[in-house]
Amino acid sequence: MSRFSQRKIQGSIKLVSWSITAAIIFELLLNIPTQVTGQSHPPLSAQQSTQLQEAKQLNKQVIELYNAGKYNEAIAPAERAIEISEKVLGKEHPDVATTLNNLAELYKAQGRYQKAEPLHLRSLAIYEKMLGKEHPLVATSLNNLAELYKARGRYEKAEPLYLRSLAIYEKVLGKQHPLVATSLNNLASLYQVQGSYEKAEPLYLRSLEIRERQGKENPDIPNNLNNLASLYQVQGSYEKAEPLYLRSLTIMEKLVGKEHPNIATSLNNLAELYKAEGRYEKAESLYLRSLGIREKALGKEHPDVATSLNTLASLYQEEGNYQKAEPLCLRSLAIREKMLGKQHPLVASSLNNLAQLYQAQNDITRAVDFSSRGLAIEEYNFGFIFTIGSEERKQDYLKTFLFSTYQAISLSLHNANNPTAARLALTTVLRRKVRVLDTVIDSIQILRSHFADKPETQKLFDQWENVNQNLSALIYRGQGNQSVSEYKAQLQQLNIQKERIEEAISNKSAEFHITTQPVELASIQTLIPKDAALVEFVRYQPFNAKAKQAEKSGKLRYAAAVLRSSGEPRWVDLADAETIETSVANLRKALAEKPSDAQTRYSTTTTTQKKPTQSVEQLARTLDRQVMAPIRPLLGDARHLLLSPDGQLAIIPFEVLLDEQNKYLIQRYAFSYLTTGRELLRIKLAPKSFSPPVVFANIDYDQQEITGPSTVRGLRNRPDDQANLQFAPLYNTLDEANKIKEIFPDTKVISGKQATETAIKKLQAPSILHLATHGFFITEKEVADNFNKELLENLKLENPLLRSGLAFAGINNRQRASSNTNDGILTALEVTGLNLRGTQLVVLSACETGLGDLKVGGRLYGLRRALVIAGSQTQVLSLWTIDDEGTKDLMVKYYQNLNAGKGKHDALRQAQLEFLKRPEYRYPYYWASFVASGDWSPLWTGNYGI
């Protein structure tokens, strides 16, 4: 299923969660000892006993009406029960908390969330005070409050309450209790809404298993089935979803009749499935039946009615019946804004659907307006969600918003002359591209600045660094004498610990988080130099608002937006992703070959080949035609290009492309690489370190079986697995280090046996960090081909930060290392823990340090990303295996240019242009490997400097 239909379904499927009324809880807790469930009370008078008996009867009536879906009728008896309970028992009695909870649940069922919240909070406070913080009724109250926050779109508030509730139930009631099943289901539904499908499924299955143990006719089973079906549906597994929906509906109709609100939910979800499959007649009848039930049972202004209106409207839009769809969409939006508030995620969903509707009718003005409003609400909610949770969880959540991002990009590209659409699309990309990276950086840097007075924060960092070290060591030392199951268990446990610690770091940093205004185009535009142009590439799925659901999303393509220091942004569509990525792969393969190797290969090409191997120049010209030629007319007189690549474009040097005059683009433009144009804001505010530079070089890798020096700074022979990496000495790096020290006399050179992993981890933000060593990046395919197949299952070896790294002293003897912190391998995962806050320049004078793998939305994960997280401001990295001697010469020239006052990027360009003129280095293999990213300004002067 495409991302579009996933996002649309996510906004319309109704998940069934259990809010538990306290009266029901009393029935479920009968087997708990009396001292756990309550307290003794003073004797009551006959009149008081009569009044309490009336309150109990009222509570019973409330529960019956609630279960029947008659929420309006239940309000009056619920209010009367509270009045009596408070009068007889006082305002802090557990029975009063019960009645408060029940009224809150009625308001929540009606969609009156603002009235429900204070009642839930008061009920929780009473239970905690009178019964203790680990009583089952406290767990109930926590669950119900979490349900309220989830319904209001405040997911960051809901999760810790769900987790605490589940922990109490499991501890007090045991892991097979019905309320544990309830908790598991509700937590799973939260994860599903946030896009964490892998976390949701096992919880749904465990909840269903507990329910079915209690009997196949358990009344809660249909709700479990509905939710599991909805998960399969949103993942595109329609064949798994339909039988679960049908079974759920059959059981539910038998239990509660055909007019219950839960029946409406089941009907609506099944209709969504049929619509996705193109079975429109079946879908419409179910939609209409669902809407009728909801309007009758819940009233015409309930949020669930808005959901029914929205989904029915989407069906009519699919059929091209826009006149029937529009009033339903507008009515749905009005209900949601009134009942949920104007910043609720479902309001954004309604606005985005209206934008699609108007786009399909070519009403671009209204399409842009509604899209802008929907995107603004999503941005507002990002601010809450992204302050908590692990990086993986944030990535999952971000996936659910790819639809609206692609919709905005497509709207602009289809309306090239509409400046409002162009601004909206670029603003959206600038806000969302590598958004998770920014939040991770913020979490780390916010906490680093609170070390002095927050010792618990330092402890948290120590735990984070320790688990990253242990993960890296376990991968690169290998299985050893352990069994497969033991090794797998260790890796899995470390990954679980890592995610928990990341969540703790994120949650802790939220204490110091300062709410910032959303990124605006104008604020970025003012930071673009007058002679420069920002080129923001995007890898996206085109969206066709007029197409059927299965055809709305096209094949992945690349596009670019160009922004100058003044004027409007301009968008251009490039080519399909497959074509561009094939060209990138071909060019990279040719660039990475030493000229002598390539010449030998060209000379032995046989006449039986269908077509001769293309030269680097031909391949560079092809990619230029596809990527840069369409952009050039938009650049004007710009000579400095701030490139923010996406997808596979992040692993090629644009400098090497050839224009129409067969000139390398490095001869025409200066290039600075950014993760996104939003990075300009970070560059502006970054602190500067003036500590002396540090260089690691001539490292003793403790080779015993390898003889002779290496001529390249990386892997020439690919490893059988990570445990077999071995490296030869790099003798030219000592000369490189000495030359740098001549240029910057205060430089500290760390070499030989002293150049350890521990030594680099102890550094505190040197102004320059130069690492002349071996680097490596092991592709996902190499892992899949060479690593133990039994170990790959369920492991997170796909993490590129564990497959990218640098070699330090002792790496060849790491199997005998006494500590995981000093085994000679510094993975990108460990690099994230370095303290480089304020470091102006990091140069990885090593192989393949600019590589990585594509993750969410085509973002590159590797050493550069790790260095940015660690706090560095400019990074110079390589894109293929590099020549040892040639690299030394390039680096010496680079530092000479830096010392002469040239910018950190321009200094590299000038060195590369000089190499281009020298016969021995004129091939791109020698001069084009290194790229500079981040802050391009000259080094700030310090004791070492200019």
557 phi and psi angles, rounded to 5 deg:
-135, 170
Domain with CATH 3.30.420 in the chain: 521-604+611-682
Cβ neighbourhood burial of 702 (10 Å; 0-12, 13-18, 19+)? middle
3-state secondary structure of 573: strand
Instruction: State the pLDDT at residue 933.
Output: 94
pLDDT value at residue 11: 45
Contact (CB, 8 A) for 769 and 763:
yes
Q: What is the C-alpha to C-alpha distance for residues 565 and 53, in angstroms, rounded to an integer?
A: 75
Query: What pLDDT does residue 185 have?
Result: 93
Query: What letters, b where the CB count within 10 A reaches 16 and e where it falls short, cover 533-548?
Result: bbbbbbbbbbbbbeee
Which among 59, 145, 68, 146 is positioned nearest to 102, based on CA atoms? 59
The answer to whether the CB of 14 falls within 8 A of the CB of 113 is no
- Rounded distance, CA 666 to CA 674, Å? 17
Residues 836, 839: Cα–Cα separation, whole Å: 5
Please give the DSSP secondary-structure letter assigned to residue 523.
Answer: H
Q: Residue 768: enclosing H or E segment and its boundaries?
A: strand 768-772
Burial tier of 362 (Cβ tally within 10 Å: 0-12, 13-18, 19+): exposed
Alpha helices, H only, 386-519: 391-399, 402-413, 419-432, 435-448, 455-477, 484-509
Structure tokens at 630: 């369409």
Residues 366-369: contacts with CB within 8 Å, 24+ apart? 367/411, 368/411, 368/418, 368/420, 368/421, 368/424
Determine how many CB atoms are found less than 10 A away from the CB of residue 490.
15
Cβ–Cβ < 8 Å for 315, 283: yes
Confidence (pLDDT) at 229 = 93
Q: Residue 807: what are its φ and ψ, rounded to 5°?
A: -100, 135
CATH 3.40.50 location in the chain: 686-883+930-934
Please give the helix or strand (H or E) that residue 750 lies within, else none: strand 748-752
| CATH code at 686-883+930-934 | 3.40.50
Whether residue 655 contacts residue 683, with contact meaning beta carbons closer than 8 Å, is answered with no
CA atoms within 13 Å, Cβ hemisphere of 585: 6
Token pair 């309150």 is found at 55
pLDDT number for residue 3: 29
Hey, what are 13's tokens? Answer: 């499927």
* Angle between helices 345-360 and 364-385 in degrees, nearest 10: 160
Q: How far is CA 853 from CA 75, 557, 719, 723, 781, in A?
A: 56, 18, 18, 20, 11
What is residue 547's predicted lDDT score, i.e. its pLDDT?
Answer: 82
26: Cβ contacts below 8 Å, ≥ 6 apart: 37, 98
Q: Is 882 exposed, middle or buried (0-12, 13-18, 19+ CB in 10 A)?
A: buried
3-class secondary structure, 506: helix
Return the closest-CA partner of residue 573 out of 555, 560, 562, 563.
560
* Neighbouring C-alpha atoms within 13 Å toward the C-beta of 292: 8
Angle, CA 500 vertex, CA 121 and CA 173 arms, to 5°? 55
241: left (phi over 0), alpha (psi -120 to 50) or beta: alpha
**CB-based burial label for 219 (10 Å; 0-12, 13-18, 19+):** middle
Query: Are 656 and 664 a contacting pair, CB within 8 Å?
Result: yes
Distance of CA 24 to the CA centre of its chain: 39
Residues with pLDDT less than 50, the chain: 1-11, 28-38, 514-515, 598, 600-611, 703-708, 712-718, 720-721, 788-798, 856-859, 944-946
Helices (H) and strands (E) in the chain, counts: 40, 16
Q: What would the two tokens of residue 220 be? A: 């809660």
Which pLDDT belongs to residue 368?
Answer: 96
The answer to whether the CB of 252 falls within 8 A of the CB of 282 is: no
Q: Are 620 and 923 in contact (CB under 8 A)?
A: no
CA distance 512 to 529: 33
**The predicted structure's pLDDT at residue 4:** 31
Which one, of 779, 743, 310, 742, lies nearest residue 589 by Cα?
A: 779
Q: The tokens of 825 are what?
A: 């391998």
Q: Taking Cα atoms as reference points, which of 478, 934, 929 lies closest to residue 713?
A: 929
The CATH number of the structural domain formed by 521-604+611-682 is 3.30.420
Residue 372 and residue 376: Cα distance in Å, rounded? 6
Backbone angles phi, psi at 861, to 5 degrees: -110, 120
Calpha distance 214→881 (Å, rounded): 61
Q: Which two tokens stand for residue 573?
A: 């569509």
The answer to whether 532 and 641 are in contact (CB under 8 A) is yes
Structure tokens at 582: 């094939």
The packing angle between helices 94-109 and 136-151, to 10°, is 20
Angle in degrees, CA 181, 184, 190, rounded to 5: 145
Q: Which residue has the tokens 């505010």?
A: 685
